[in-house]
Structure 1
């Protein structure tokens, strides 16, 4: 009889996983109660580093197994739990693999599955909510092969097979790009400046707009750190820590950071619902308090006169940053029926916001209601991004689509929204193809007129896609990552595209061809955020392993130099006499 693996799951293991999930989700009171009642302070698991989202990943694996178990046929079951031991002469097929039968019944995490093909397949525990052909597609020519003997990275499971659908285009043609056959240079923890100081995962980063070597990073440890990135062989400097909580043990995620256009002020958003403003040297100026929930984004207006903040509490607040009372609310917007997930400025008086209510609203200072609402998404809208010339707006949703909107529809005499049941005339195209949530969007900043219409999207389906928004076609399907792709960044002139993933790798692509030119591997954990330096010489990276890394792209031959902009500070009003 085959020897079964020695599996051991304890209640302490489960408590530690749930505690980590509650901490990541911001349920601090519930997590505190669990920590006390489960006596986790005396557990060795409290000091084990559990990757962000680990509980969800383990549940997904269990659901995949449940689906496979529910649809096996002609299997002799040996009653040894939790495994099936099969003889080598037994044939195994998934339901529908050799016939026209196919189960289309949905799965739920809380309800038993009843197969749509009849009672001959027993109900089973739920699985992931996708159809089987999306989870176990047949191999395709040109697809990267996984499971090639490489070790699995902790917290970044490699999927045996792709979670891909072919992207839909007007002519049906999509060019897929894999690492196979590409000339690629690799680096494994080398060729980068590695900077330590954060005490937990690092989520976001942003370069100073005028000082090329000044990088701001935000972490789960409730700090933003300002790094003066040295030019080797100069030594590393100790970063300036901008602490958001008086007690270092009271960790609250930093959720947003944004420099104003002059680089004189840095605004940071935190899970505690407070917006803080700092100088470029790291001195705290003041707190902006109104929101009753975590901040999801904060952004300076183009002329730095206003600062907007959007929150879980469903509000957008525009703060007047030019008066002598910097905590003055210029206007409060309650234009969504749920949490506001992202917002961007269109001009100095107009901004665009999106929320879980599936709407994208265009709002203007002085107006109490949106001047335009874009409708069409079928699930919560989590990102909005304007093209370089601001003629097009891209929005992504948990409905796995990206919609591109014509901003010329925002006119004084235009209706606020289309009649019920009608397609919004401002909708230029719908980009379909991702089979999981879209994690980031970015417009190509090239000055080339054709490339200005290119939009990149990354997804939890392990892929990135480059779209031509003029016709809605997917021109490149990038298949090189082995796990969820979190982030992307174009070089300043759009020649190169960088992507970062839960597989721990950063890949540099040629934007025009989609070929991988360079790979860097952090060797531990995932890459949460990347940003190309404003002058194009360096790439900043935020790592799950608590580190911050900077790649010298010029050294590797991928510099895309752009001279830093020349800006003048906004004129502040004179103090009263």
Structure 2
């Protein structure tokens, strides 16, 4: 091969990171250029769904991002709100960004999925979690997703979901395969019908169907008894971004084509089609009763749809940039918190989180404290708190009641792509762009240094 690569072929400073030593030794310039282009395209596609403004972020082989912005503490956050190191435990093992995390619904297992071609199942101990983990680190099962048919090619894990019993974990991958794993890390099945990346999947509550949404523009319902495709839905004209079960047989899908479809198993056509968004739809979610469907889009709007009326019930305007994610509070009729108000939270590229009265369509409050795009939000199971993760490398825990920032964590050193709570309301997990997974003992942190600094308007 040619020893000297010109800048027109491969930019050594900017592109060398995409190449493995064996590639440089064994391949010619044309092949190296193709490898670089393919990996750049893959990174671009992953970045679009795990942080839309990632074009200026560089990640090296160890998963370290750079250049980092200057250190920043939001002006509305008191230093006393910072989580103590004693209330934090870092799970290390992933070598690239953590795209998703998922707690088992029935036990103390935590799954994490990464662009390093692995998912991991961490056995988190019961009781005073953080303090016990410092002396007894958790066991971990590593779930390899390398594409062995293509010379061990990397295959990012892009989605995770546990079944209702917590016995099986489904993972979606960049290469378009869904894999089924036992909670002990044993591979059960690989589902191969999709021809595009899977960025969303979900089990129904009964556990007999698995729903996957793909960049091949289709959604598939899989029979979990035989692992056969029960029905493939090909209504969208662009890649699917999110799928969400309404009940055991009906579900909704959203896409880059700006459409939302409500579908039902056995039906050859959508039950409903909603088309009022003017930009790519980034997320959809049913309210706890399954009667209202919320959506958010690059057009900066949040919408609440009524299936009873077959139309948009509320058009929520307030954000001035793309809205990346939405979450319903686990409150109101039909939930374990029936006497609390039902709230819809939305997070945006404008660095704010907004809380909405879902029934009246009114803005309750805006949560200010982040300085860059907010990528992930999660309500605590009791509905009292909201965790948020941002491009600004900060995790905040807010009071839903008054919008104050109760606790903040900023020592992860990278963009936060995912936050979620365990079922006991006391542990918050965060997945970072540098490959670490951080556990925060919220109950202990609040007891140490209670804080009432404001973070709303």
State the Cα RMSD in Å: 3.2
Q: 1:154 to 1:479 in 2, by over 3 A?
A: farther
Partner of 2:110: 215
Q: Give the aligned partner of residue 446 of structure 2.
A: 557
- Measure the CA separation in 1 of the matches of 2:187 and 2:77: 52
Q: Give SS of 2:56's match.
A: helix
Change over 3 Å in CA distance of 1:319–1:181 after alignment to 2 = closer
| Unaligned segments of structure 1, at least 5 residues | 1-9, 24-31, 41-49, 60-152, 161-177, 411-425, 560-577
Residue 459 (structure 1) aligned to one of 338, 343, 348: 348
Q: How does 1:176-575 map to 2 (within 5 A)?
A: 180=76, 184-187=80-83, 190-211=86-107, 213-230=108-125, 231=129, 232-233=131-132, 234-245=135-146, 250-322=153-225, 325-326=226-227, 328-409=228-309, 426-447=311-332, 451-557=340-446
Q: Distance in 1 between matches of 2:304 and 2:13?
A: 42
1:529 deviates by 0.3
**What secondary structure, in the 3-state scheme, does the structure 2 residue paired with 1:509 have?**
strand
Change (3 A) 1:512 1:438: same
Q: How does 1:105-116 map to 2 (within 5 A)?
A: none
Query: How much has 1:521 moved relative to structure 2?
Result: 1.4
Q: Residues 298, 52 of structure 1: CA spacing in aligned structure 2 closer, same or farther, 3 A cutoff?
A: closer
Tell me how far 1:52 sits from its aligned partner. Answer: 7.8
Which runs of 5 or more residues in structure 2 are unaligned? 1-6, 21-27, 37-46, 59-64, 449-457
Taking structure 2 as the reference length, what is the TM-score of the superposition? Answer: 0.80
1:187: Cα distance to partner?
2.5
SS in 2 for 1:434: coil
Structure 1 residues 34 and 479, CA gap change in structure 2 (3 angstroms): farther
1:544: how far off?
1.3
1:198 and 1:221 in contact (8 A); partners too: yes
1:238 CA displacement: 3.9
The structural deviation recorded for 1:476 is 1.4
The answer to whether the 8 Å contact 1:266/1:277 transfers is yes
- SS of equivalent residue, structure 1 residue 409: coil
Q: 1:536: how far off?
A: 1.2
Is the 8 Å Cα contact of residues 145 and 156 (structure 2) preserved in structure 1?
no
Distance change in 2, residues 1:18/1:312 (3 Å): farther
Aligned CA distance change for structure 1 residues 236 and 183 (closer, same or farther; 3 Å): closer
Secondary structure, counterpart of 1:435 in structure 2: coil
Match of 2:55 in 1: 56
Mark the CA change 1:21 to 1:39 in structure 2 (over 3 Å): closer, same or farther: closer
* Distance in 2 (alpha carbons) for counterparts of 1:484 and 1:156: 15
Deviations 1:203-243, CA, capped at 9 Å, x for gaps: 110001011x2100000001110111243334113411000
Q: How far, CA to CA, are the matches of 2:32 and 2:77 in structure 1? A: 54
CA displacement at 1:275 relative to structure 2: 0.5
Task: Using the TM superposition, give the Cα deviation of residue 331 of structure 1 relative to its aligned residue in structure 2, in angstroms.
Answer: 0.6
Q: d(CA) in 2 for partners of 1:462 and 1:478?
A: 9
CA deviation after TM superposition for structure 1 residue 436, in Å? 2.0
2:147 and 2:155 in contact (8 A); partners too: no
Secondary structure at the counterpart of residue 83 of structure 2: strand
Q: Name the SS of the counterpart of 1:290 in structure 2.
A: coil
Aligned residues: 404
8 Å contact kept, 2:19–2:35: no
